[in-house]
Structure 1
């Protein structure tokens, strides 16, 4: 009997000591008005979409059927930054991949001359049929 009381007491202490989590109330967040929400779907992979909120968030994209059965897309989105400016990203997604452009994204630096030369030599060897 004493063992059961000790175990029960330990379990009650563990439950009482457990961290208490509260669920955030979504109504406490500031309200943002939706200024524009337009959607059009033509059913064949072609579509257009524009969304704009009062806080400056904006997204627009246009989709069209691709050559390999996919839907190609191009568009842009923007959102406010902490300093009051806006980040904007323009993108294209098609059979060649995804390409995004923005001043905030890092860019590739040019390859050093020795790397360009190595690539040229490898391409020449591949053209001659040399394999490693």
Structure 2
């Protein structure tokens, strides 16, 4: 029984030493906000913009479209940029609406283009749905 207690105390001691090593030794310096603008209207429209001393910038604006209907949607658009550890400034513009969050940036991957033959096939199928249904019955 004593060996189990000693083993558990040993594990607890190792865990506390391990977690102590993972914590930073000093508190990071706060980053100053050098610009902050915010405007919120009673109708729900809003905009904001901020910039920090380390080069982070962000802005957004939004409005509630089709308020009170089943098609009600909060539509927002904005951008942000920051300087990464590699020294490169990364910028993203975005829209968020009933279709979801749609970011764009030079560093973000994009899907390859749809081959022209596939596009033609899709257009043909959309224009001739009855022919497609008949061929499925055979």
Scaled to the shorter chain, the TM-score interval is 0.7 to 0.9
- Do the aligned residues in 2 keep the contact of 1:92 with 1:98 (CA within 8 Å)? yes
Q: Which deviates more, 41-50 or 4-13?
A: 4-13
- Do the aligned residues in 2 keep the contact of 1:66 with 1:94 (CA within 8 Å)? no
| Structure 1 residue 72 corresponds to structure 2 residue 69 | no
Q: Distance in 1 between matches of 2:43 and 2:131?
A: 44
Give the CA RMSD over aligned residues.
2.5
User: Alpha-carbon deviation of 1:13?
Assistant: 3.0
Residue in structure 1 matched with residue 9 of structure 2 by the alignment: 12
Q: For structure 1, which runs of at least 5 residues remain unmatched after alignment?
A: none
Residue in structure 1 matched with residue 23 of structure 2 by the alignment: 24
Q: Which deviates more, 104-113 or 55-64?
A: 104-113
Q: For structure 2, which runs of at least 5 residues remain unmatched after alignment?
A: none
**Equivalent residues, number:** 128
- Do the aligned residues in 2 keep the contact of 1:32 with 1:55 (CA within 8 Å)? yes
Residue in structure 1 matched with residue 84 of structure 2 by the alignment: 81
Match of 1:109 among 103, 107, 112: 112
Q: Which deviates more, 102-111 or 47-56?
A: 102-111
User: Alpha-carbon deviation of 1:80?
Assistant: 0.5
Residue in structure 1 matched with residue 38 of structure 2 by the alignment: 39
User: Alpha-carbon deviation of 1:49?
Assistant: 0.8
So what's the TM-score if we normalise by structure 1? 0.77
User: Alpha-carbon deviation of 1:27?
Assistant: 5.5
